[in-house]
Each structure stands twice: as C-alpha cells, then as structure tokens.
Amino acid sequence: MSQLAQALEEKNISSRYYRFGSFGNGYSDDSFLIEELSGAFVVSYLERGRASPIQAFPSEDEACDFLFAELTSEEYYVRGWKRS
C-alpha cells in the first residue's frame, strides 16, 4: 500500500482522501479506506464516520489498483480530490 500512497502523491492526490486500515491520514468523512477483512481486501467509502463497502478483492494489489483508478479518474478530479 506504500506504493499506492507514493503513486497518489505523484498524481497530487491528497492523503486526506484515503487511508489503509487504521493507518493513514484519511479523515473519518469523505475518504476511501482499504482494509483486510476475512482474507479479502475491501475498498470502502467513509462518510459520517461509517464505512460503506464498495468492492472486495482477493489481493491487495487488485484493491490498490481499483482505488488508484477511482482517485485518478476525471470524475474525482472534478470533485476535488486533486490538491490545488
């Protein structure tokens, strides 16, 4: 996941918008989370202190690839994920 954090940093995506399990700088609201649950890597969206699962993956790499694609997509750039 450190490679994902580095790749997002290179794309100017603020670490405020993601976290890894109980680690990372993501806030409890309006951020993404990757955590390992029951042998799967789950990508969730955190809003109002609650995690809403988006998708589960069998590997950490697949979860990281998915989150990278989400945070670097045009839709999320428009919503303000990119640092100004």
Per-domain residue ranges for the chain? Answer: 2-77
pLDDT for residue 59: 97
Q: Is the pTM of this model over 0.85?
A: no
Q: What is the pLDDT of residues 45-65, one digit of tens each?
A: 888 778 889 999 999 999 999
* Contact indicator for 66, 55 with CB cutoff of 8 Å: yes
At 42, is the secondary structure helix, strand, or coil?
strand
* Contact indicator for 9, 18 with CB cutoff of 8 Å: no
Q: How far apart are CA 53 and CA 44, in angstroms?
A: 4
Report how far apart the first and last C-alpha atoms of the chain are (Å, whole number): 24
